[in-house]
C-alpha cells in the first residue's frame, strides 16, 4: 500500500495521455493540460520523452513557455547541450533570452564558445547584454549565480511611486519579497519588505522607514560563502554589490539550494576519491579518467605499506600468527580516521570550526580517540585471549589497536584543518587517502611493537 502511494506521488501527470495528445495533433488540449502542470512535472515529462516527441513539443510551445520548462530541469551541467542541439537555433536563442539571466548563463556556460557567440548574436540586444555581463564573472562566484531581475527603488521615492515602480518591474523580477533601495548613484542604501511597503502610508518617503542595515555579498565572493550567509540569516534573497557598493543583482534561495547540492556532491565525490561525481549514464572511459588519478596515488601509497610489511618479514616468519591481525588493525584504524575526517570536513564546510574551535576539535578528537582505543583494545584482548589463549599476543594486538585508533583519529581531524589553513579544499583529504595513510601508521605501530617483544612471543 505504501509502495503504491509512493509511486502515485512520484508521478503527478498522465504521461501516456500527454504523448497521445501530441501524436494525434490535439494541439489545444495538450497545450492546456501541459501548461496546467507544475513546472517540475513539465520538466519531468519533457526529460522523459524521446527526441521525436520533444520535436513536437517545440512546435506546440512558444520559446517563453519552453523557458519555464527548461528552468525547472534538474540536469547535470554537461547534459544541457543535447537538448539545446535538438532545437532550431533561433528558437533556442529566443528561449534562452526568455529565461532568468542567471539560469540562461548556467546553460550557456556548458556550451562551446562558438555556440555561445552564435546565440548572443541572434537573441535580442538587451538580453544578450545582460547575459554577457554575467558570463564575465568567474565560475562559482556570487556574480556567476546572481540574477539582474530584481526590484530596486530610489530612496527619495514615496510609497505611492514605489508601488508604481514595483508593479512595472514585478512581472520580470525573480522575487518581489525584498525591495532594495538605492541612491542616485545606484549605491545600495537600504531594504524594505513587501509587507512594509503595503502597510505604509502612500505619502511616506521610503528613506524614512527603510532598513539601513543591509546584509550583502560582494560579486567576487565564493558561492559557498554566500550559501552560509543565506542559511545563517534565513534570507530568501541577498543583494550583490561591487567594491563601490553599487547594486549589481540578487541571489535567490532557489539558486543557493542548487549551490548547496552542488557543493555537497562535490565534497562527497572528493571524500570518495573521485575528481567529479559520475552520472549513471556517463561513458566508462570518462568515469575511469575521473577516478584513476586518486587510485594511482593510493596505489603508490599502498606500495609503502607493502614495503613496511617486507621490512618486518623476519618478525612475521618467527611468529606467523601476527599476520592474521594486520587487516583487523589496519581496517579499525582506517574506520576511526574516516569518522574523524567526516566530522572535521563537515565542521569546516558549515563554518562551525573556526579559530579557537579548531584547537577544541583537535583536543576533543584526541580524547575521543583515546577512549575508543581503550575500549576497542580491551575487546580485542578478550577475543584474542579466548581464541588463542595467548595473553601476550592479546596484549600486543590490544595495544596496537589502541595506539592506531588514537593516531588515526588525530590524523583524521588534523589533516583537513591543515589543508584548510593552507587554502586547500579539506575534502581533498579523502577517505581513501586517510585510510591508506592509517594503514601505514597502524602496520608500523603493530609490527614495531611485535619486533620489540618478538623473543617473548616465540
- Name which residue leads in pLDDT, 372 or 357: 372
pLDDT given for residue 266 in this prediction: 64
pLDDT given for residue 1 in this prediction: 38
pLDDT given for residue 7 in this prediction: 42
pLDDT given for residue 291 in this prediction: 65
pLDDT given for residue 179 in this prediction: 92
Q: How far is CA 316 from the centre of its chain?
A: 46
**Interval 434-441 mean pLDDT:** 79
Q: What is the pLDDT of residues 56-79, one digit of tens each?
A: 999 999 999 999 999 888 776 567
Whether the pLDDT of residue 449 is over 50: the answer is yes
**Interval 4-33 mean pLDDT:** 75
**Interval 256-262 mean pLDDT:** 81
Q: Is residue 270 very low, low, confident or very high in pLDDT (cuts 50, 70, 90)?
A: low
Backbone angles phi, psi at 282, to 5 degrees: -75, 155
Range in 35-39, 86-90, 147-151, 265-269 with the lowest mean pLDDT = 265-269
C-alpha cell at 144: 556567476
pLDDT given for residue 427 in this prediction: 62
pLDDT given for residue 206 in this prediction: 94
- Domain 284-457, CATH among 1.10.730.10, 2.60.40.10, 3.60.15.10, 1.10.357.20: 1.10.357.20
Instruction: Yes or no: say if 66 and 35 are a contact pair by the CB < 8 Å rule.
Output: no
Query: Which residues does residue 191 pair with via DSSP β-bridges, in sequence order?
Result: 180, 211
Whether the pLDDT of residue 51 is over 50: the answer is yes
Whether the pLDDT of residue 271 is over 60: the answer is no
Q: What is the pLDDT of residues 293-343, one digit of tens each?
A: 666 776 777 787 777 777 777 777 766 778 888 888 888 888 888 888 888
List CB contacts of 12: < 8 A, sequence separation 6 or more. Answer: 37, 38, 41
pLDDT given for residue 112 in this prediction: 86
Q: What is the pLDDT of residues 133-189, one digit of tens each?
A: 888 888 889 998 998 889 999 999 999 999 999 999 888 888 888 999 999 999 999
pLDDT given for residue 3 in this prediction: 42
Q: Is residue 27 very low, low, confident or very high in pLDDT (cuts 50, 70, 90)?
A: confident
Residues listed for the chain: 458
Angle of helix 101-108 relative to helix 89-98, nearest 10 degrees, comes to 140
Query: Which residues does residue 218 pair with via DSSP β-bridges, in sequence order?
Result: 241
Instruction: Yes or no: say if 434 and 415 are a contact pair by the CB < 8 Å rule.
Output: yes
**Interval 104-116 mean pLDDT:** 87
Percent of the chain's residues with pLDDT above 90: 35
Q: How far apart are CA 147 and CA 166, in angstroms?
A: 17
Whether the pLDDT of residue 36 is over 50: the answer is yes
Query: Which residues does residue 182 pair with via DSSP β-bridges, in sequence order?
Result: 154, 188
Number of H helices, E strands in the chain: 24, 6
Q: How far apart are CA 132 and CA 270, in angstroms?
A: 32
Identical fold for domains 2-145 and 284-457, yes or no, is: no
pLDDT given for residue 54 in this prediction: 92
DSSP character at residue 180:
E
pLDDT given for residue 78 in this prediction: 62
Q: Which fold, 152-267?
A: CBS-domain (3.10.580)
pLDDT given for residue 265 in this prediction: 63
Q: Is residue 435 very low, low, confident or very high in pLDDT (cuts 50, 70, 90)?
A: confident
- Name which residue leads in pLDDT, 401 or 274: 401
Q: Which fold, 2-145?
A: MgtE N-terminal fold (1.25.60)
Q: Is residue 430 very low, low, confident or very high in pLDDT (cuts 50, 70, 90)?
A: low
What does the angle CA 286 – CA 289 – CA 295 come to, to the nearest 5 degrees? 145
Per-domain boundaries in the chain: 2-145, 152-267, 284-457
Please identify which residue in the block is written with the cell numbers 554537461.
78
Amino acid at each position: 500500500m505504501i509502495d503504491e502511494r509512493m509511486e502515485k506521488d512520484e508521478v503527478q501527470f498522465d504521461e501516456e495521455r500527454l504523448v497521445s495528445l501530441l501524436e494525434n495533433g490535439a494541439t489545444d488540449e495538450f497545450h492546456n493540460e501541459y501548461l496546467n502542470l507544475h513546472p517540475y512535472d513539465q520538466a519531468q515529462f519533457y526529460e522523459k520523452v524521446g527526441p521525436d516527441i520533444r520535436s513536437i513539443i517545440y512546435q506546440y510551445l512558444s520559446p517563453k513557455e519552453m523557458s519555464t520548462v527548461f528552468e525547472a530541469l534538474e540536469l547535470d551541467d554537461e547534459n544541457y547541450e543535447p537538448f539545446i542541439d535538438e532545437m532550431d537555433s533561433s528558437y533556442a536563442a529566443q528561449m534562452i533570452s526568455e529565461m532568468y539571466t542567471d539560469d540562461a548563463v548556467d546553460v550557456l556556460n556548458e556550451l562551446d564558445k562558438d555556440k555561445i557567440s552564435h546565440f548572443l548574436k541572434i537573441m535580442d540586444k538587451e538580453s544578450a547584454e545582460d547575459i554577457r555581463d554575467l558570463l564575465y564573472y568567474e565560475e562559482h562566484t556570487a556574480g556567476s549565480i546572481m540574477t539582474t531581475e530584481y526590484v530596486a527603488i530610489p530612496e527619495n521615492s514615496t510609497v505611492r511611486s514605489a508601488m508604481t515602480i514595483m508593479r512595472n518591474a514585478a512581472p520580470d523580477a525573480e522575487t518581489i519579497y525584498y525591495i532594495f533601495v538605492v541612491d542616485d548613484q545606484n549605491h545600495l542604501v537600504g531594504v524594505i519588505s513587501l509587507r512594509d511597503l503595503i502597510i505604509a502610508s502612500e505619502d511616506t518617503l521610503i528613506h524614512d522607514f527603510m532598513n539601513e542595515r543591509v546584509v550583502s555579498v560582494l560579486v567576487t565572493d565564493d558561492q559557498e560563502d554566500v550559501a552560509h550567509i543565506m542559511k545563517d540569516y534565513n534570507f530568501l534573497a541577498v543583494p550583490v554589490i561591487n567594491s563601490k557598493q553599487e547594486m549589481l543583482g540578487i541571489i535567490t534561495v532557489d539558486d543557493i539550494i542548487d549551490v548547496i547540492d552542488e557543493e555537497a556532491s562535490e565534497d562527497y565525490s572528493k571524500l570518495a576519491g573521485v575528481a567529479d561525481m559520475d552520472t549513471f549514464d556517463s561513458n566508462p572511459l570518462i568515469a575511469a579518467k575521473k577516478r584513476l588519478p586518486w587510485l594511482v596515488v593510493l596505489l603508490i601509497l599502498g606500495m609503502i605499506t607493502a614495503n613496511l610489511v617486507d621490512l618486518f618479514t623476519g618478525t612475521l616468519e618467527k611468529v606467523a600468527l601476527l599476520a592474521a591481525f594486520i587487516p583487523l588493525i589496519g581496517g579499525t584504524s582506517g574506520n576511526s580516521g574516516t569518522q574523524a575526517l567526516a566530522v572535521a570536513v563537515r565542521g569546516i564546510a558549515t563554518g562551525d570550526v573556526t579559530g579557537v574551535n579548531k584547537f577544541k576539535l583537535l583536543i576533543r578528537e584526541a580524547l575521543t580517540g583515546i577512549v575508543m582505543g581503550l575500549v576497542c583494545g580491551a575487546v580485542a584482548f578478550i577475543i584474542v585471549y579466548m581464541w588463542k589463549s595467548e595473553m601476550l599476543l592479546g596484549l600486543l594486538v590490544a595495544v596496537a589497536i589502541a595506539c592506531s585508533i588514537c593516531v588515526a583519529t588525530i590524523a583524521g581531524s588534523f589533516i583537513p584543518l591543515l589543508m584548510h589553513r593552507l587554502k586547500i579544499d579539506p575534502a581533498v583529504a579523502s577517505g581513501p587517502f586517510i585510510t591508506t595513510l592509517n594503514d601505514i601508521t597502524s602496520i608500523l605501530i603493530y609490527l614495531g611493537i611485535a619486533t620489540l617483544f618478538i623473543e617473548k612471543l616465540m
